[in-house]
């Protein structure tokens, strides 16, 4: 709902502010007062017009419209944020450049227009294009038939069918390269598996072993020298200890000191002998490992090659192996998956066709009633000989998942202002005034439509009397579930307004200015009297009271 419109330096408007309310807002004024400039200002926000609208002598025009926000709009437009209000602000310079803002955020004109079209529907002599749109016609008709739940069900099932078809196509594409990929995967798996990478730290241990083997000559020389010093050389530590032991044996054996010394020397001699023999064995093993260094290098080289291809470590190589084994299993089972997907898709297609048939039946069920209801509304709006039809065009498709999200047929409204002529698409037959009344008729039949702001500009062109009165009644009816703004020159329509605004043209210092103000009850009575062509002393004044009272009780 639009709450406020502020227009500055726009055409003949110097500075005007209008606070709109719920219900039916009527705008009146003398011919040429500039009533349609209010609509023009709103249309400029949506992308219409340019520098021509900048007031003479001014550098720029600024138009700002404030709307109430909704959760749906906040979800679609990040620019709104968490605000409860939406500000659409348009700046036009006299050079033709424009800037547009949503809640203070600079946006492109296309972005502004997208939000604008969700907030306002404008109908007039030159602004009726949304009812030309078959998608909008279908949306309105489905709302009339109350097909929302059925459409949601159809969209869900259709989406599942599309996903299954997509997965099946992906599998079929994989089939073309599957054999080659299987061969490659088996090669990789065999290469890694044959390496028997059991321990994650094998490489570190091999590096340590290699370093020890590379130092073998230095180790062998040093250990050999130690062996000679301890046991095999002349002299050696073992012989010297043995000789010391013999000398101690010739001394007083009853002396505790001598006994302890002899015991320690014997133990040291045995320890040296034992360690010397271990050194000898180590040296012999070292001499017999001549080819082990080659094996270690060969193993390290194999691990290096695997790491270069499949990972930075043995652990990563093993993880890659598991990954490839899983992928191989998937490819080998692709036929089973394909068969399963084909069965699921077949079932989904059957469900799609069942629901779309149900949707088509629901649409067909309400067609005659809708056509007759619209024609009845149009008759009340001064078009008793009009013809209105709803045309269904069944769509052709090869597979159920190819259907659009709206069902199995396109829907088109056909109209003729005279029943003696064939009904044709609205875009080809109806004038702006006629189309506005068609829209009014249709919208009055669809209270389920989401609340929006609907603007009718000169909907009363060419009507009067009882038709004008009925037009006011219908506008009042639609205003029970939409905010309606109507520019009119007919008093029989103006009296039905919940809120009444008057546009006046004034001249100040030789410059024209347009002012807009909301009328008080007394001022409204005067304005309706003026529209009837009278004044407060004429019979028109009493008639104005009468029709205002009648409209209030309608």
| pLDDT at res. 46 | 85
Burial zone of 516 (CB within 10 Å; 0-12 exposed, 13-18 middle, 19+ buried)? buried
Cα gap 77→302, rounded to integer Å: 58
Cα gap 31→440, rounded to integer Å: 24
Structure tokens, 6: 């502020």
| Mean pLDDT (whole number) for 316-331 | 89
| pLDDT at res. 147 | 93
| pLDDT at res. 464 | 73
| pLDDT at res. 336 | 84
153-175 burial, b at 16+ Cβ within 10 Å, e below that, comes to ebeebbebbbebbeebeebeeee
| Mean pLDDT (whole number) for 80-101 | 90
Band (pLDDT 50/70/90 cuts) for residue 298 is confident
Band (pLDDT 50/70/90 cuts) for residue 382 is confident
Entry field: residues in the chain: 554
Structure letter (DSSP) for residue 54: B
- Residue 512: phi and psi, rounded to 5, are -80, 145
Structure letter (DSSP) for residue 229: I
Structure tokens, 357: 């048939």
| Mean pLDDT (whole number) for 287-304 | 78
Angle between helices 237-249 and 256-287 (to 10 degrees): 160
Lowest mean pLDDT among 120-129, 154-163, 513-522: 120-129
Band (pLDDT 50/70/90 cuts) for residue 285 is confident
Q: What is the overall mean pLDDT for the chain?
A: 87
Whole-model pTM: value is 0.66
pLDDT over threshold 80, residue 175: no
| pLDDT at res. 94 | 87
Cβ atoms < 10 Å from Cβ of 254? 7
Structure letter (DSSP) for residue 55: P
Cα gap 496→518, rounded to integer Å: 15
Band (pLDDT 50/70/90 cuts) for residue 209 is confident
- Residue 514: phi and psi, rounded to 5, are -110, 130
- Residue 69: phi and psi, rounded to 5, are -95, 165
pLDDT in tens, 474-519: 899 889 889 999 999 899 999 999 999 999 988 877 788 889 999 9
Please tell me which residue, 291 or 225, carries the higher pLDDT value. Answer: 225
Q: How big, in percent rounded to 5, are the helix, strand and coil portions of the chain?
A: 55, 20, 25
Band (pLDDT 50/70/90 cuts) for residue 330 is confident
| Mean pLDDT (whole number) for 522-540 | 86
Cα gap 38→502, rounded to integer Å: 11
pLDDT cut 70: percent of the chain above it = 96
CB 85 within 8 A of CB 3: yes
Please tell me which residue, 313 or 510, carries the higher pLDDT value. Answer: 313
Q: Output the CA torsion sign for 297, 303, 309, 313.
A: negative
Helix, strand or coil, per DSSP, at residue 115: helix
| pLDDT at res. 27 | 94
How big is the CA angle at 368 (ends 367 and 373), to the nearest 5 degrees?
100
| List of residues 6+ apart from 147 with CB closer than 8 A | 359, 362, 363
H or E stretch including 132?
A: helix 129-132
Cα gap 518→495, rounded to integer Å: 14
| pLDDT at res. 392 | 95
pLDDT in tens, 350-380: 999 999 999 999 999 999 999 999 999 998 8
| pLDDT at res. 150 | 95
| Mean pLDDT (whole number) for 17-23 | 93
**Is the bond into 235 cis (omega within 30 degrees of 0)?**
yes
pLDDT in tens, 47-83: 877 788 899 889 999 999 999 998 888 888 988 988 8
Cα gap 318→188, rounded to integer Å: 11
| Mean pLDDT (whole number) for 143-171 | 93
pLDDT in tens, 397-453: 899 999 999 999 999 999 998 877 888 888 776 566 777 788 888 888 887 778 888
pLDDT over threshold 90, residue 203: no
Structure tokens, 209: 């072993």
Cα gap 234→510, rounded to integer Å: 135
């Amino acid at each position: 709902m639009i709450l406020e419109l502020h227009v500055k330096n726009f055409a003949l408007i110097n500075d005007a502010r209008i606070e709109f309310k719920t219900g039916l807002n009527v705008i009146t004024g003398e011919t040429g007062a500039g009533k349609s400039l209010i609509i023009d200002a709103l249309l400029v926000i949506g992308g219409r017009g340019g520098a021509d609208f900048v007031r003479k002598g001014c550098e720029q025009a600024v138009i700002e419209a404030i709307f109430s926000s909704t959760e749906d709009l906040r979800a679609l437009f990040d620019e709104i944020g968490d605000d409860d209000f939406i500000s659409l602000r348009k700046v036009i310079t006299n050079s033709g450049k424009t800037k547009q803002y949503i809640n203070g955020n600079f946006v492109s004109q296309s972005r502004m227009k997208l939000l604008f079209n969700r907030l306002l529907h404008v109908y007039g002599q030159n602004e009726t294009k949304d009812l030309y749109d078959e998608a909008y016609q279908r949306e309105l008709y489905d709302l009339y038939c109350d097909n929302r739940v059925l459409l949601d069900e159809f969209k869900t099932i259709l989406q599942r069918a599309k996903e299954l078809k997509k997965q099946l196509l992906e599998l079929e594409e994989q089939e073309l390269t599957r054999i080659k990929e299987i061969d490659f995967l088996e090669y990789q798996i065999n290469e890694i598996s044959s390496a028997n990478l059991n321990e994650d730290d094998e490489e570190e241990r091999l590096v340590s072993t290699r370093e020890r083997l590379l130092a073998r000559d230095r180790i062998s020389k040093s250990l050999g020298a130690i062996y000679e010093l301890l046991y095999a050389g002349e002299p050696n530590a073992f012989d010297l200890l043995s000789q010391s032991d013999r000398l101690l044996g010739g001394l007083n054996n009853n002396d505790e000191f001598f006994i302890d010394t002899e015991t320690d020397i014997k133990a040291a001699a045995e320890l040296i002998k034992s360690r010397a023999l271990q050194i000898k064995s180590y040296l012999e093993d070292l001499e017999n490992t001549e080819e082990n260094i080659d094996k270690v290098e060969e193993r390290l080289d194999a691990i290096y090659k695997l790491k270069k291809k499949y990972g930075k470590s043995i652990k990563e190589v093993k993880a890659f192996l598991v990954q490839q084994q899983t992928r191989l299993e998937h490819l080998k089972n692709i036929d089973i998956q394909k068969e399963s997907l084909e069965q699921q898709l077949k079932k989904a297609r059957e469900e799609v066709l069942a629901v779309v048939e149900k949707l088509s039946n629901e649409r067909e069920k309400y067609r005659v009633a809708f056509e007759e209801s619209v024609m009845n509304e149009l008759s009340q709006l001064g078009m008793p000989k009009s013809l209105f039809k709803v045309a269904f065009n069944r769509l052709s498709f090869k597979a159920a998942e190819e259907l659009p999200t709206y069902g199995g047929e396109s829907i088109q409204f056909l109209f003729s202002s005279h029943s003696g002529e064939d009904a044709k698409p609205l875009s080809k037959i109806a004038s702006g005034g006629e189309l506005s009344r068609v829209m009014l008729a249709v919208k009055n039949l669809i209270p389920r439509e989401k609340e929006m702001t609907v603007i009718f500009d000169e909907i009363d062109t060419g009507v009067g009397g009882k038709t004008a009165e009925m037009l006011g009644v219908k506008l009042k009816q639609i205003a029970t579930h939409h905010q309606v703004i109507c520019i009119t020159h007919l008093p029989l329509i103006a009296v039905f307004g919940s809120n009444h605004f008057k546009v006046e043209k004034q001249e100040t210092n030789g410059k024209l200015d347009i002012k807009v103000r909301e009328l008080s009850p007394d001022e409204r009575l005067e304005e309706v009297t003026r529209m009837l062509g009278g004044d407060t002393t004429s019979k028109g004044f009493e008639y104005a009271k009468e029709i205002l009272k009648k409209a209030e009780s309608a």
